[in-house]
A and B are shown apart, each in its own frame.
Chain A
C-alpha cells in the first residue's frame, strides 16, 4: 500500500510541475507586478510601489485603478454582459434541450447541428456576425429593410446603445449549445415514473414542467449557469473582434490587456488582471458557500 502511495506521488508530479509552471508561477508573478511600476519595454528593472496602481492620491487627485472611471465602466460592462448573455442562453438552451429531449426522426443530426456554433472558433463566429450585421452590405439590415421593420440601415456595431446588444447576441449564438447539451443530459436522466404519475393525475404540460422538470434539473442548471458565468466574466475574444476597444463594450479582460500590451504598463495592467482574478475567485467562493449546505463539493468520483 505504501509503495502504491509513493507511485501515486510520482504519477502526479508531472501535472503538478506543469500547472505550477504555466499557472501558479505566472499568476504569482502577475500579482507581484501589480505592486510595481514595471513596463513592457524593460521588464527586468522596476520598483515596488505598494498599492499605487490600485489607489493613491497625488497632489490632491485620486489616481489608480479604483479611481479610474474607465475601469469601473469595464466592470459594469462585464456585469451587464454576463447577466444578459447567461440569462438569454439559459432560457434558449433550456428550450432547445426540451425540444431535443423528444424523440423524433433525425434527432441525432439535429443534435450535431446544434453543436456547430459551439465548435466554430469564437473569432470566426464574431467575424461571421460582423459581416451579417454590416451596416451597408449586411444581410440583417437587408432582411429587416425588406420586411419593413427598419426604414433605414442600422450600424449595429457602432451605434452606442446597440453595440453591447450585438456582442451579447453573438455570444448567445456561440454558447447556447453548451447550455442546451448540459441540460439535455440532465433531462435524459430524469425518472420516467414521475411523469407517468403526473400525466395520470391530469397535470398539464406547463404544470409538469414547472413542478417536476425544473426542480429536478435544478442542480445541473445551477452548475451550467455557474460555469457560463465564470466564462462570461473573463470575456475577451468576441468583444475584441466585434467592437475592439470601444469603451461602450470594453470588458475587464479587454481593459487589462490594453493596459498590459498596448500601453505597455505591465504594473498597472497586472493590477487590473489581479482584480479580475479576485472577482472570479469571489464568485466561486460565494457559489461554494451557498452550495455547502446542499451537497459535498469535490467528491465527484
Chain B
C-alpha cells in the first residue's frame, strides 16, 4: 500500500514537471491558431486551426527576412567559434607551456563580462568597421559570448585524447597543422557538435546586442523582431501574431533539443561542472 502511494506521488511529480515545462509552449501554440475574438476567451484547445496569424507574420512583417538574418548570424558564429576554439584547444590542451592556466583563466574571465559593459566600446568598433545595422556586426559581437566556453569545453576534450595519436603523426613527419586537422579533429567531432549547438542557441537567442546594433526592421534578428511587434497602442498588441512568430522560431530549437539532448547536456556539464 505504501509502495503504491509512493509510486503515485512519483508519477504526480513527473506529471507536474512535464506540465510546468511544456504547458506555456502548448498555450502559445493554441493562441497562435486562434483568430479574432477567439483570442479573448481562454481555451486549452483551439476550436479551429486558423493559419492566419502565421501568414500575417510573414506577410505584414519582414519575419522571413528576420529568420534568414538569425540563421545567417548563427551559422557564422558557430563556424567562427569552432574554428577559433579548436585552434586554441590544440595549444591549450596538447602543448605544455608556462602560463597555460593563466590563459585559461583569462579566457574564462571574458565569459563573465556583463554585455552592457562592452556596449559603448562595441558600438564604436562596429561603426568603425562599417557594419552597424548589419547582421555581420552581430556575428562579430557574439564571438565574445561564444568563444570562451567553446575554448574551455574543447580544451577539456582535447586534453583527454590519448598521446599516441600525436606520436604516430609525428613519426609520419606531420606538422602541427596536419596533426590537428587529420588526427585530432575527427575524434573531437562529438564535442564540436555539443559546443556548436550551444553556440547556435546563444546566437539564435541573443537580444541585447541585436537590439542595440541594428536599427531597421529588415536587419533585425528574430528575438528583436518578436520583442518589438506592437499594435496600434499598448493595449492592442496582436497576441495571435506574436504567438505565431514565437512558436515558429522555437520549433527548430525544440527539434534540436529533442534530437541532441545528450550532447547538449554533455556540453553544458563539461563547461560548468569541470570548470
Tell me, rounded to whole Å, the shortest Cβ–Cβ distance linking A266 to chain B. 5
Instruction: Tell me the chain A residues, 158-190 only, with Cβ under 8 Å from chain B.
Output: 173, 177-178, 181-182, 185-186
Residues of B within 8 A of A261 (CB): 212
What is the number of residues of chain B that contact chain A, defined by CB distance less than 8 Å?
97
Q: Is B222 an interface residue (CB 8 A)?
A: yes
Partner of B273, one of A23, A38, A123, A185: A185
The answer to whether A30 and B95 touch across the interface, beta carbons within 8 angstroms, is: no
Interface string of A109-141 (1 = CB under 8 A from B): 011111111011111111111011010111100
A30-B121, A119-B254 given; A301·B156 CB < 8 A: yes
A26-B120, A119-B201, A298-B105 given; A15·B227 CB < 8 A: no
Partner of A15, one of B84, B120, B249, B257: B84
Interface string of B186-212 (1 = CB under 8 A from A): 000000000000000100110110011
A185-B273, A261-B212, A273-B116 given; A131·B121 CB < 8 A: no
Residues of B within 8 A of A12 (CB): 87-88, 91-92, 103
Interface string of B103-145 (1 = CB under 8 A from A): 1110111101111111111101100000000000000110110
Which of A11, A25, A27, A142 has the most C-beta atoms of chain B within 10 angstroms of its own C-beta?
A11
The answer to whether B101 and A276 touch across the interface, beta carbons within 8 angstroms, is: no
Tell me, rounded to whole Å, the shortest Cβ–Cβ distance linking B145 to chain A. 9
Identify the closest chain B residue to A189 (Cβ). Answer: B273
Alpha-carbon distance between A19 and B147 when the two chains are bound, in angstroms: 8
The answer to whether B20 and A104 touch across the interface, beta carbons within 8 angstroms, is: no
Q: Is B66 an interface residue (CB 8 A)?
A: no
Alpha-carbon distance between A136 and B37 when the two chains are bound, in angstroms: 13
Instruction: Tell me the chain B residues, 74-112 only, with Cβ under 8 Å from chain A.
Output: 83-85, 87-88, 90-93, 95, 97, 101-105, 107-110, 112
Tell me, rounded to whole Å, the shortest Cβ–Cβ distance linking B230 to chain A. 12
Interface string of A1-34 (1 = CB under 8 A from B): 0001101110110110011011101111110010
Alpha-carbon distance between A120 and B211 when the two chains are bound, in angstroms: 18
Which of B18, B40, B120, B242 has the most C-beta atoms of chain A within 10 angstroms of its own C-beta?
B120
Alpha-carbon distance between A46 and B21 when the two chains are bound, in angstroms: 50
A99-B17, A124-B246, A273-B114 given; A21·B254 CB < 8 A: no
Q: Is A257 an interface residue (CB 8 A)?
A: yes
A19-B110, A99-B17, A260-B120 given; A14·B141 CB < 8 A: no
Identify the closest chain B residue to A143 (Cβ). Answer: B42
Q: Is B268 an interface residue (CB 8 A)?
A: yes
Q: Is A194 an interface residue (CB 8 A)?
A: no
Alpha-carbon distance between A300 and B120 when the two chains are bound, in angstroms: 33
Partner-binding segment picked from B45-53, B54-62, B258-266: B258-266
Instruction: Tell me the chain A residues, 14-68 only, with Cβ under 8 Å from chain B.
Output: 14-15, 18-19, 21-23, 25-30, 33, 38, 43
Q: Is A233 an interface residue (CB 8 A)?
A: yes
The answer to whether A276 and B122 touch across the interface, beta carbons within 8 angstroms, is: no
Partner of A185, one of B22, B107, B269: B269
- SS of A interface (majority): helix
Tell me, rounded to whole Å, the shortest Cβ–Cβ distance linking A180 to chain B. 9
The answer to whether A131 and B243 touch across the interface, beta carbons within 8 angstroms, is: yes
Q: Is A277 an interface residue (CB 8 A)?
A: yes
Partner of A300, one of B24, B109, B156: B156
The answer to whether B268 and A237 touch across the interface, beta carbons within 8 angstroms, is: no
The answer to whether A18 and B84 touch across the interface, beta carbons within 8 angstroms, is: yes
The answer to whether A11 and B114 touch across the interface, beta carbons within 8 angstroms, is: no
Alpha-carbon distance between A25 and B205 when the two chains are bound, in angstroms: 25
Residues of A within 8 A of B42 (CB): 137-139, 142-143
The answer to whether A131 and B13 touch across the interface, beta carbons within 8 angstroms, is: no
The answer to whether B122 and A22 touch across the interface, beta carbons within 8 angstroms, is: yes
Q: Is A154 an interface residue (CB 8 A)?
A: no
Tell me, rounded to whole Å, the shortest Cβ–Cβ distance linking A76 to chain B. 17
Instruction: Tell me the chain B residues, 173-191 only, with Cβ under 8 Å from chain A.
Output: 175-176, 180
A123-B227, A142-B42, A260-B119 given; A298·B201 CB < 8 A: no
Q: Is A102 an interface residue (CB 8 A)?
A: yes
Identify the closest chain B residue to A20 (Cβ). Answer: B110
The answer to whether A11 and B116 touch across the interface, beta carbons within 8 angstroms, is: no
Q: Is A240 an interface residue (CB 8 A)?
A: yes
The answer to whether A256 and B116 touch across the interface, beta carbons within 8 angstroms, is: yes
Alpha-carbon distance between A253 and B160 when the two chains are bound, in angstroms: 39
The answer to whether A128 and B27 touch across the interface, beta carbons within 8 angstroms, is: yes
Q: Is A241 an interface residue (CB 8 A)?
A: yes
The answer to whether A121 and B101 touch across the interface, beta carbons within 8 angstroms, is: no
Residues of B within 8 A of A33 (CB): 120-121
The answer to whether B107 and A29 touch across the interface, beta carbons within 8 angstroms, is: no
The answer to whether A223 and B272 touch across the interface, beta carbons within 8 angstroms, is: yes
The answer to whether B17 and A15 touch across the interface, beta carbons within 8 angstroms, is: no
Q: Rank and list the top 9 A-B pairs by shortest CB-CB distance, nearest first.
A: A26-B121, A29-B121, A26-B118, A121-B205, A8-B91, A142-B42, A8-B95, A123-B223, A11-B91
Question: Can you spell out 17 A-B residue pairs with CB atoms less than 8 angstroms apart?
Answer: A5-B95, A11-B180, A14-B88, A15-B147, A19-B107, A21-B125, A22-B118, A95-B13, A99-B10, A110-B17, A117-B21, A121-B226, A126-B227, A127-B242, A128-B243, A131-B28, A300-B275
